[in-house]
Amino acid sequence: MKFIKNNTKIQEQDDAALVASYKSSGDLTVLGTLYNKYMHLVYGVCLNYLKDEELSKDAVMQIFEELVVKLRIHEVQNFKSWLHVLARNHCLMALRKNSRHTTVSLEDSFVENTDFVHLDVDDTKETKLTIMEKCMETLPEEQRVSVDLFYLQEKCYKEVADLTGYDMQKVKSYIQNGKRNLKICIERNSSE
């Protein structure tokens, strides 16, 4: 999986110099040289998360395409660490995207389930949802917004921080405390 022919003059430069050179010139040869140094590590990260060789090879190429844009707009102090985080996030987003598209087999036993034929028989799910909605309204604003974005809209911590303007550590705290408060409220209202 080599991207470019080796250019010894470019390869002798350290990561920071290569990043600076790419940012100023936009030269893909420079970026290719930089990425080529760590491509095997990116592949390893992808294989660890995706558990599939072909998907991992595709991800390595997609991450390079992301680098073309992202490296020019982000301030990168340690390219190797930043690339690792970028690769991990790419894989996590791919896994999350794929988990949304799972299919369910409609077998006879599923279709003939009495809970589905007679929807009015058991409305406990509806009751639980109503309780959860009421409890969400009791949470402080920061917790309610953070929990809603993280759990219901499936945003990651960074996306929640970007959308709300809250500090990343605050977002984590709001989500943790909101989840705990929501659980307490639901348990209290379910027993009534």
Helices 53-73 and 79-99: crossing angle in degrees, nearest 10, is 120
pLDDT tens for the 192 residues of the chain, in order: 444 444 444 444 689 999 999 999 999 999 999 999 999 999 999 999 899 999 999 999 999 999 999 998 888 889 999 999 899 999 988 888 877 655 555 454 444 444 444 444 445 666 777 788 788 888 898 998 888 888 777 888 898 898 889 999 999 999 999 889 988 888 888 776
Q: Which long-range contacts (CB under 8 A, 24 or more apart) does 184-187 make?
A: 185/134, 185/135, 185/138, 186/128, 186/131, 186/132, 186/135
Q: Judge: domain 122-190, CATH 1.10.10.10.
A: yes
**Residue pair 94/59 in contact by the 8 Å Cβ criterion:** yes
Domain topology for 8-99: Rna Polymerase Sigma Factor; Chain: A (1.10.1740)
> Domains of the chain: which residue ranges?
8-99, 122-190
pTM of full prediction above 0.75: no
